[in-house]
Amino acid sequence: MYLIIVGAGDIGTPLIEIATRSGNEVVVIESDPERADYVVGRYDCLVLNDDATVHNVLADAGIEQADAVISTTDRDATNIMVCLLAQEHDVPAIVSVVHDPEHMNVFRQIGVNTIENPQELIAEYLYRAVARPAIVDYMRIGDAAEVFEIVVTEDAPIADKTLIETADENLLPDDVLVVAIERKGQDPPLTPQGDTRIKAGDLLTVYSAFGATPELTDVFGHPEDRVN
């Protein structure tokens, strides 16, 4: 893909690393000279030390051929302007971070995909890692639902049972689904069926309509989550 990334700060720089490492053609626009120089010396991409809200700068960045524009600056006004200019050029994918929740409606009105308050998301993730150590990774869906990863312990109630048996014994509620199983020696991950047997050491990807509550993580053998 041909990506234009605006901003090389705390959010933009890791994004640049991921995008370049994945083999994309990346152009970075960064107004701060020191940040721009840092990216030039570290990543294989074109860097423009300029103002992305200027039409000619986006033209120099090759916006006409861009598959996506991602605006990551710490100023919502700048991100909005970049997104509007990208829309004028019919860029297929336009994404922006949003720092102030009060500005969220503006981004929605102009039809931009957003990541809301990334600092708060990071803080929540870090707190979750401490407060709920059993959860390997998670993603919130709506107000309550979550998709999360969790390892099955040897003494877990669900260990050595098939998914049908877990349902018959009411170990998993109807609105909890095991959607993938990563097992040592198995590649790719297993797509579970009713007769799939859960084993200790399995890394499960689980959907829960009510989230990863302590009562639910107990089923996978993690009562330690109740301490927090």
Q: Give the 3-state DSSP-derived string for the chain, with helices as H, strands as E and coil as C.
A: CEEEEECCCCCHHHHHHHHHHCCCEEEEECCCHHHHHHHHHHCCCEEECCCCCCHHHHHHCCHHHCCEEEECCCCHHHHHHHHHHHHHCCCCEEEEEECCHHHHHHHHHCCCEEEECHHHHHHHHHHHHHHCCCEEEEEEECCCEEEEEEECCCCCCCCCCEHHHHHHCCCCCCCEEEEEEECCCCCCCECCCCCCECCCCCEEEEEECCCCCHHHHHHCCCHHHHHC
Mean pLDDT of 182-198: 91
* pLDDT at residue 102, rounded to an integer: 84
Instruction: Tell me the C-alpha distance between 160 and 150, whole Å.
Output: 16
User: What is residue 143's predicted lDDT score, i.e. its pLDDT?
Assistant: 79
Please name the residues in contact with 20: beta carbons below 8 A apart, sequence gap of 6 or more.
26, 43, 44, 45
- Distance from first CA to last CA of the chain, Å, rounded? 43
Cα distances from 193 to residues 35, 150, 165, in angstroms, run 50, 18, 12
pLDDT, position 137? 83
* Mean pLDDT rounded to a whole number for the chain: 90
- Is 0.75 topped by the overall pTM? no
Q: What is residue 214's predicted lDDT score, i.e. its pLDDT?
A: 87
Q: What pLDDT was estimated at residue 116?
A: 67
Examine the pLDDT at 210 and tell me if it is beyond 70: yes
Cβ-contact 176, 207 below 8 angstroms: yes
- pLDDT value at residue 30: 97
Task: Give the residue, 138 or 195, on which the prediction is more confident.
Answer: 195
pLDDT above 80: residue 119: no
User: Could you tell me which CATH number the domain at 132-227 has?
Assistant: 3.30.70.1450
What are the residue ranges spanned by the domains of the chain? 2-116, 132-227
- Main-chain phi, psi angles of 109, to 5 degrees: -65, -35
Proportion of the chain above pLDDT 90, given as a percent:
68
What would the pLDDT profile of 28-64 be if each residue is shown by its tens digit?
Answer: 999 999 999 999 999 999 999 999 999 999 999 999 9
Residue 185 pLDDT grade (very low, low, confident, very high; cuts 50, 70, 90): confident
Each residue of 123-157: pLDDT tens digit?
Answer: 777 777 767 788 888 888 877 899 999 999 999 99
- The domain over range 2-116 is classified in CATH as 3.40.50.720: yes
